[in-house]
Each structure stands twice: as structure tokens, then as C-alpha cells.
A and B are shown apart, each in its own frame.
Chain A
Amino acid sequence: MTYYVITFANTHSAIITQSHLESYANICIMPTLREISAGCGISIRFSSEDLDSIKTGLKTLGLDPNMYNLYEIKEKDGKIFPSPIA
């Protein structure tokens, strides 16, 4: 299973981004994966078909790119493999 998450440098950025992105894609709020060490506790999960819409949504929000990170998450045999994406 593959999906994407956005992690944030702080909780406020996560909450502002969450309400903004709801109109761009089908998103899900989840706790930041323990496998990802950086970022605050709130992440936004979405599926691959929404990657472009999410990137557009992040641009229109104008959030400082240093305040968030995008990851592709692969789950295999109960293990989680996150890889950062640009």
C-alpha cells in the first residue's frame, strides 16, 4: 500500500493547512508516523491521485516551504517505509 503524507513543523501550520486543503482533495488527518522523526504530531494523509491537487493547494496557501515536508509512504509486511519527496 502506498500513500502520501504532509508533516509540519508546528501544530498551527497543520491545522491551517488541513482546513485549506479540504477543498482541494480528499484528505485524512492522522498522527505523524513514528518512523518520521521530524515534524509535529499532526499529519495530513492523501492518495497518489491527489498529489498534484495537494501541491497546488499548498502553493495557493502560501505556507513557508520550510514549515512542512511531503513523504511517500510504502507499507509492506506491516513495516512502514517513508521517503521524502520534493
Chain B
Amino acid sequence: MIIDARGKNCPIPVIMAKKEIDNKSLSFSILVDNAIALENLKKLAKSQGYKVEFKGVNEDYSVDFISGETTNSVFDLKESSQDQETDLSDSKSQWVLFMAKDVIGEGDPALGESLIKMYFYTLSQGNCLPKAILFMNNGVKLPTTNPQVIEHLRTIADKGCEILVCGACLDFYNLTDQLQVGSISNMYAITEEINKASKVVTL
């Protein structure tokens, strides 16, 4: 089974793959023509218990989904190190931070921006980190255009926290090529993080 999702923007390729998974397909291939779709498909595969193999020339990728089997992808090394980081943070905490704004609270924007900078400063200094930080809507402006917050997010990410940034939101605000930290994600992965978390904090 080969699904052609070339020319389709996020999140259509993920939705097409998810449909195939929902149909209990044990293995299938999906063709995409951009790196964001590839990353999102890899995340989908991981979350659904599928192994993924892919080959690509330039930005054209053929992504093979294989249900629950081992794989010998050339990216195995990178993938497994990411898994270890996630496992590490799993053992530390199960809470996630959901950021849908680029300030803290309502009110004066300058105060709100100072507060958000101070929050991430304080978070980066401590050891009680969330398992993941999820950026959506105006929140995506933080890992793209706020230098101080970007620096703190790098520190936080280095300690094993996963930083997921809504791809549709980045696209809406024309910020996709300005992402400085974290990875471009989608509603599936973000919803899953929220569902799995023992506590979701929104500022």
C-alpha cells in the first residue's frame, strides 16, 4: 500500500497515515515532499507503536510504516538517543507545560513579557522540569522571536525536556523558518502529551 501525500501541507500527510493505522494496516508507505511532514510522520509512528524506515532524495521522502517490528534505519542512532532522553524525563516528572500565549496572564503586555522571561529563567535554573513544553497559537512566538526565552529553552531542552511547537501556528505567523529551539509538531502529538500528563500547567 502506497499513499501519495506529496503536495499536501501539514497536517494532511499525518491524517492520511493515521487513517491507514486506524484501518489496522500492518505496513504501508507514504510519499511526502517536505521535512516537516517527515518529522511529523516519525512522531506519529513512534506514538502508534510503528517502526519507521525512510529514504529520500532532496525533500522527497518515502516513509515506510511497519507495525511493531525492528528497523535498521540509518537514523536509528539519533532516534535511540532521543528515546533515552524522553525516558530520562519520564522518570523525573509527568507534567507538561502548555503555552498558548507569549506572555503570562492578561494585562499590560510589557509586564506580561517580563513575567514570561522570569518564569523561563526560574524554570531553567531548577530541577523540577516538565516532561514537555507545548507551544501553540501566540505561544510559538517564544521559541522563535524571544532571544532570552530561547536561551532558557535551550538549557531546559538540554536537561531532557521535549519542546513541541505547533507547525500550523508557525506557518500562520510566518515563523516556520525562525524556530530556534524544539521541534515542529502537530495536534496529534500535542494532544497525546496533554492526555498522558499527570498535570497540565497553562500560564
Residues of A within 8 A of B148 (CB): 28-29
Residue of A nearest to B151 (CB): A28
Q: Please tell me if the beta carbons of A15 and B118 are within 8 angstroms of each other in the complex.
A: no
Min CB gap A24→B, angstroms: 15
Q: Which of B110, B121, B122 contacts A15 (CB 8 A)?
A: B110
Min CB gap A65→B, angstroms: 22
- Interface assignment of A30: CB less than 8 Å from any CB of chain B: yes
Bound Cα distance from A30 to B123, whole angstroms: 11
Bound Cα distance from A15 to B112, whole angstroms: 10
Min CB gap A82→B, angstroms: 16
Q: How many residues of A contact B (CB 8 A)?
A: 11
Bound Cα distance from A81 to B119, whole angstroms: 22
C-beta contact mask, A10-30 vs B, less than 8 Å → 1, else 0?
Answer: 010011001100000000111
C-beta contact mask, B4-31 vs A, less than 8 Å → 1, else 0?
Answer: 0000000000000000000000000000
Q: Which residues of chain A (27-72) have a CB below 8 Å from chain B? A: 28-31, 41-42
Q: Which of A18, A19, A31, A42 contacts B122 (CB 8 A)?
A: A31
Q: How many residues of B contact A (CB 8 A)?
A: 9
- Interface assignment of B187: CB less than 8 Å from any CB of chain A: no
Bound Cα distance from A42 to B148, whole angstroms: 15
Bound Cα distance from A60 to B151, whole angstroms: 28
C-beta contact mask, B149-160 vs A, less than 8 Å → 1, else 0?
Answer: 001000000000
Residue of A nearest to B108 (CB): A15
Q: Please tell me if the beta carbons of B111 and A31 are within 8 angstroms of each other in the complex.
A: no
Residues of B within 8 A of A11 (CB): 111
Residues of A within 8 A of B151 (CB): 28
Q: Please tell me if the beta carbons of B110 and A29 are within 8 angstroms of each other in the complex.
A: no
Q: Which residues of B contact A (CB under 8 A)?
A: 110-111, 114, 117-118, 121-122, 148, 151
Give the 5 A-B CB pairs with smallest separation, nearest first.
Answer: A29-B117, A31-B118, A30-B121, A15-B110, A29-B114
A-B contact sample (9 more), CB < 8 A, given A14-B114, A18-B114, A30-B122: A15-B114, A28-B117, A28-B121, A29-B114, A29-B121, A29-B148, A30-B121, A31-B122, A41-B118
